[in-house]
Amino acid sequence: MLDPLPVKGVRFAAIEAGLRYRDRPDLLLIEAAEGTAVGGVLTRSAVPGHPVPWCREVVARGRARAVIANAGTANVFRGEEGDRAVRAEAKAVADAIGCRMEEVLVASTGVIGQRLPVERIEAAVPDLVAALAPDGIETAAAAIMTTDTFPKWASRRADIAGRPVTVTGIAKGSGMIAPDMATMLAFVATDALLPAPLVQRLVEEGADQSFNAITVDGDASTSDTLLLLATGKAGNPMPQSADDPALAGFRQALFAVLKDLALMVVKDGEGATKLVEIRVDGAESDASARRIGLEIANSPLVKTAIAGGDANWGRVLMAIGNAGEKVDLPRIGVAFGGFPVARNGGAVPDLDEAPIDAHLKGREILIEATVGIGPGKAAVWTCDLTHGYIDINADYRS
Amino acid sequence: MLDPLPVKGVRFAAIEAGLRYRDRPDLLLIEAAEGTAVGGVLTRSAVPGHPVPWCREVVARGRARAVIANAGTANVFRGEEGDRAVRAEAKAVADAIGCRMEEVLVASTGVIGQRLPVERIEAAVPDLVAALAPDGIETAAAAIMTTDTFPKWASRRADIAGRPVTVTGIAKGSGMIAPDMATMLAFVATDALLPAPLVQRLVEEGADQSFNAITVDGDASTSDTLLLLATGKAGNPMPQSADDPALAGFRQALFAVLKDLALMVVKDGEGATKLVEIRVDGAESDASARRIGLEIANSPLVKTAIAGGDANWGRVLMAIGNAGEKVDLPRIGVAFGGFPVARNGGAVPDLDEAPIDAHLKGREILIEATVGIGPGKAAVWTCDLTHGYIDINADYRS
């Protein structure tokens, strides 16, 4: 994996605060220069973790100076105490770096329902601030890992009206992953100069094609958070609107970073042995295509078939039928690895199974489904469902 | 398990037609007397198996004389050929027993996408008809098994206005099970005299509290079918309406049979080691409570925790948050086996885990969730998610 690129106006630090994990960093601080605009997408869970409503308010104001994130305890379902802990974290960071509490974003990932040892966070903040540096992004990514098996980062370069800009993101997540985000935390920073509403719009668009198009086990979490910080230090001309042609390259770079991170999360899905891409077309709309794709991607029967290398298109068909979307049965087709197995409402006769079986032995699987209604299309990603998932989840108190 | 009770006016037969399975009966015929009223609930899949639209038409007319059902091939996604096969089956039975094609219900369960060897069914019909008898219900139940590990039947007695009536049902299903029915076939017969619209209403009500309240893996199938045949041979006074007090005992008996069958299906869930009942109250409505219950019941993280004997209420909370239903976070409570683990929006302090751990070691688990909004409540059932599920489904071409 390529090294992550530093971003002008952003510094990182990670430290071992001993919140739950031992012998590894578990507390991350991202500091962003004054004037940083922020956008974000957060879980839609009806029982969000305590950091989530706090972040929603910060994001709504469009300005941020820091992100403090811990791994080990998710600070969920703790009543008043949980809300107080969030404010205490924000205050400790604000006091240490010299900004307002309301400019500090907070995130937590880990076990639900246990108390966050906020006093240890407060005690660690001075050392964290002292350690802030433009590099150290890899250690930052490692500090927020829970069941992840590898730290996740991605970077791209682009330009806006001729000025070079950089986009770098880190993320964590492997189980409890579904669209509407998941205990998935993703922090993306850029030095591009962008107005806050545009930052918000870009992160929402980007989320739809990346984090909202992945699923590991269909279980969206209480704490999903995707934040995009734009420091403005690249000094590009301020874009006029979301459609400003000068943004084309930047948008591409941002979406590529988000997609890289999202696919890393899926590949790290608990127990995953294969990355599965599901492309749906012919749907009534793109949103309809995505719902169909996710129905296929969330089907335990499809996912176990993939795990077993079985080109079981009957199960794919079954999932298509369950999505609650408009489909035209006599025009449905399904293909594995580009090889059609079902077409125009029936099985492909005299199918040569050899190339299909070979494809399914691989680690990157492609399933295509066409449903015969309209122009809608979408791509979603998931992983297979294996014994590894059972091993991990019948044991991990999270 | 108690022996099933014969039903006046109903005869059963099962035979080995060699459709896919060897050395076991795989074709079932149920014959019902002239004058039998029928009601039914069928899959809502957008890609239903070929028997499904045929049954929908028969059920809409309210009259039936027979059900022919095979195991091994589901006759799904076969185009014109699949529809022709259904008509051929109906015709063969109609000719043999002397009724109209349109009075013959058809069902198939098994692999999706493969051709149904209808000529073997046609060839077997005369022997089937010759074997019709009022008993032999257990063999009938065995004839429709696929991944089931045991044949499923249930009976109850009741009376309508003093006349004794009997209700007996058979069912099959273990994987690919979710509400909106599943490859789940259930055929229930009674000798009660009921008008067809009432039969339909009773079976719909009953389905909501039984088959539509169970899930094994969240994957509803293409072929779910629940049929209720009422022969009228008990000679009871015809009830005037659905609310006729004379029906109270019958309704109870019918729902008990449906629930017995539905719970048998869940207990036979692929890889299941535990039956899990989830009771939700405090929801906005009963339907809302059920959706919350099913979100919990379908969560791979909840189901693996149960498999591991882990009282992981955080995952239950996570699932509650994902149901898309109204909940009041500070009033949420969760209990395992009647022991509260979370109450009024927070963890129960100083929790004695011993009785809870003991409960979770058992084979019947109770999870209760209250969500603090209104009077809505519901109960749903599922099973745990184990290595057994992976073993079965990474291998079975279905």
Dihedrals phi, psi of B80, to nearest 5 degrees: -55, -35
Q: Do A317 and B113 touch (CB under 8 A)?
A: yes
Q: Would you state the structure tokens that stand for residue B168, as one six-digit string?
A: 């007996």
DSSP state of A273: -
**Does B352 map to a domain?**
yes
- Shared-domain flag, residues A77 and A113: yes
Residue B266, C-beta contacts closer than 8 angstroms, at least 6 positions apart: B177, B214, B215, B216, B272, B275, B381, B382, B383
Q: Is residue B279 part of a domain?
A: yes
State the Cα–Cα distance between residues A28 and A35, nearest whole angstrom: 21
Percent of chain B with pLDDT over 90: 73
Q: Which of A216, A243, A265 is the last residue of a domain?
A: A265
pLDDT at A339 over 90: yes
* Residue B257 reports pLDDT greater than 70: yes
Size of interface A-B (CB pairs under 8 A): 203
A326 to chain B, closest Cα gap in Å: 7
Which residue in chain A has the smallest CA separation from B327?
Answer: A46
- Mean pLDDT (whole number) for A280-296: 95
Nearest to A319 by CA among A344, A302, A343: A302
Choose from B304, B306, B371 for mutation: most chain A CBs within 10 A. Answer: B304
**Cα gap A14→A68, rounded to integer Å:** 10
Cβ neighbours for B260, distance < 8 A, ≥ 6 positions apart: B154, B169
Domain boundary among A211, A234, A265: A265
Q: What is the pLDDT of residue B212?
A: 84
Structure tokens at A179: 């669209």
B275: tokens are: 């039956």
CB contact (8 A) between residue B219 and residue A321 = no
Q: Are residues A118 and A209 in the same domain?
A: yes
Q: Which amino acid is at B362?
A: G
More confident residue, B82 or A146: B82
> Min CA distance, B308 vs chain A (Å)?
4
A238 lies in the same domain as A358: no
pLDDT tens column, B42-90: 988 898 999 999 999 999 999 999 999 999 888 999 999 999 999 999 9
Paired tokens of A126: 């001075």
Residues of B known to be catalytic:
183
Decide if A202 is inside a domain: yes
What is the band of B22 on the pLDDT scale with cuts at 50, 70, 90? confident
Are the beta carbons of A322 and B217 separated by less than 8 Å? no
What number is the average pLDDT over the span B382-388?
A: 89
Does residue A375 or residue B20 have the better pLDDT?
A375
Query: Quick one: pLDDT band at residue A179, thresholds 50, 70, 90?
Result: very low
Distance (Å) from the alpha carbon of A103 to chain B's nearest alpha carbon = 26
Contact A318 B219 (CB under 8 A): yes
- Count how many domains chain A has: 2
Give A281's contacts (C-beta < 8 A, 6+ positions apart): A289, A368, A369, A370, A371, A376, A377
Residue B327 and residue B241 share a domain: no
Does the beta-carbon distance from B76 to A314 stay under 8 Å? yes
Let me know if residue A3 belongs to a domain: no
CATH of the domain at A144: 3.60.70.12
Chain A residue closest in CA terms to B297: A219
Q: Whole-number mean pLDDT of chain A?
A: 91
**pLDDT tens-digit profile of B285-318?**
999 999 999 999 999 889 988 999 988 888 899 8
Question: In this structure, are B145 and B214 located in the same domain?
Answer: yes
Q: CA of B154, closest CA in chain A: separation in Å?
A: 29
Q: Do A386 and A298 sit in the same domain of this protein?
A: yes
Q: What is the pLDDT of residue A397?
A: 47
- Are A219 and B301 inside 8 Å of each other by CB? yes
A5 within a domain of the structure (yes/no) = no
Could you give the CA distance from residue B281 to residue B373 in angstroms, rounded to a whole number?
9
Which residue does chain A place closest to B317, by CA atoms? A47
| The dihedral sign for the CA sequence A264, A269, A271, A275 | negative
| B148 neighbors B27 (Cβ within 8 angstroms) | no
pLDDT at A22: 83
Residue A2 domain-assigned (yes or no): no
Residue in chain A closest to B319 (alpha carbons) equals: A219
Mutate to test the interface with A, among B108, B295, B301 (most CBs of A within 10 A): B301
Mean pLDDT, residues B342-351:
89
Query: What band does A244 get if pLDDT is binned at 50, 70 and 90?
Result: very high
Q: What is the distance between the alpha carbons of residues B282 and B375, in angstroms, rounded to a whole number?
A: 5
Measured between CB atoms, which of A47, A217, A314 is closest to B300? A217
CB contact under 8 A, A342 and B113: yes
- Contact call for A301 and B393, based on CB within 8 A: yes
- Which of A205, A230, A265 finishes a domain? A265
A388 band by pLDDT with thresholds 50, 70 and 90: confident
Reported as a single tens digit per residue, the pLDDT across A78-116 is 999 999 999 999 999 999 999 999 999 999 998 888 899
Whether ipTM exceeds 0.95: no
By residue range, what is the domain housing residue A105?
10-265
pLDDT of residue B368: 97
Q: How many CB atoms are located within 10 Å of the residue B358 CB?
A: 12
Q: For the ranges A131-145, A178-192, A277-291, A302-316, which has the lowest average pLDDT?
A: A178-192
User: What is the tens place of the pLDDT at every residue in A9-26?
Assistant: 999 999 999 888 888 999
For A342-352, what is the mean pLDDT? Answer: 89
Nearest CA in chain B to A270: B301
Q: What's A338's domain CATH number?
A: 3.10.20.340
pLDDT at res. A216: 73
**Do A228 and A345 lie in a common domain?**
no
Q: Name the minimum distance, in Å, from the CA of B25 to any CA of chain A.
A: 24
Q: How far apart (Å, rounded) are the C-alpha atoms in residues B184 and B224?
A: 5
Across the interface, of B312, B324, B345, the residue whose CB is closest to A79 is B345
Q: Looking at the structure, tell me whether residues A286 and A344 fall in a common domain.
A: yes
- CB-nearest partner of A47 from B298, B299, B320: B320
Return the residue matching tokens 């009033």. B331
Please write the tens of the pLDDT for every residue from B169-222. 999 987 554 433 337 899 999 999 999 999 999 999 999 889 888 877 766 778
Give the number of residues written for chain B.
398
**Predicted confidence (pLDDT) at residue B266 exceeds the cutoff of 60:** yes
Among A258, A262, A254, A231, CA closest to A66: A231
Nearest to B397 among A312, A327, A346 (CB): A312
Same domain, B208 and B314: no
B221: chain A residues, CB-CB within 8 Å:
318
Check whether B120 has a pLDDT greater than 90: yes
Indicate whether B1 belongs to any domain: no
DSSP conformational letter for B4: P
Residues of A designated catalytic: 183
Q: What confidence score (pLDDT) does residue B23 get?
A: 87
Q: Are residues B222 and B308 in the same domain?
A: no
Q: Are residues A99 and A22 in the same domain?
A: yes
Instruction: pLDDT band for B282, please (50, 70, 90 cuts).
Output: very high
The candidate with the shortest Cα–Cα distance to A251, out of A196, A295, A190, A311, is: A190
Type of residue at A334:
V
- Among A37-41, B32-36, B391-395, the range scoring the smallest mean pLDDT is B391-395
From chain A, the residues in CB contact with B223 under 8 A are none
B375: amino acid identity, one letter: P
Nearest to B169 by CA among B279, B19, B10, B292: B10
Contact state of B113 with A79 under an 8 Å Cβ cutoff:
no
Would you say residue B34 lies in a domain? yes
Cβ pair B113:A46 closer than 8 A? no
Q: How far is CA A373 from CA A288, A320, A322, A334, in A?
A: 11, 13, 16, 15
Say if residue B261 is in the same domain as residue B279. Answer: no
Q: DSSP labels for A135-192? A: --HHHHHHHT-SS-SS-EEEEEEEEETTEEEEEEEEEE-SSS--SS--S-EEEEEE--
Q: How far is CA A230 from the centre of its chain?
A: 18
Cα B320 to chain centroid, rounded: 25
Q: Of the candidates B217, B322, B389, which has its C-beta nearest A45's C-beta?
A: B322
Q: pTM for the complete prediction?
A: 0.83
Q: Do B77 and A345 touch (CB under 8 A)?
A: yes
For A197-208, the pLDDT digits (tens) are 999 999 999 998
Cβ atoms of residues B262 and B178 within 8 Å? no
| Residue B176: per-residue pLDDT | 53
Confidence of residue B123 (pLDDT cuts 50, 70, 90): very high
Contact list in B for residue A348 (CB cut-off 8 A) is none
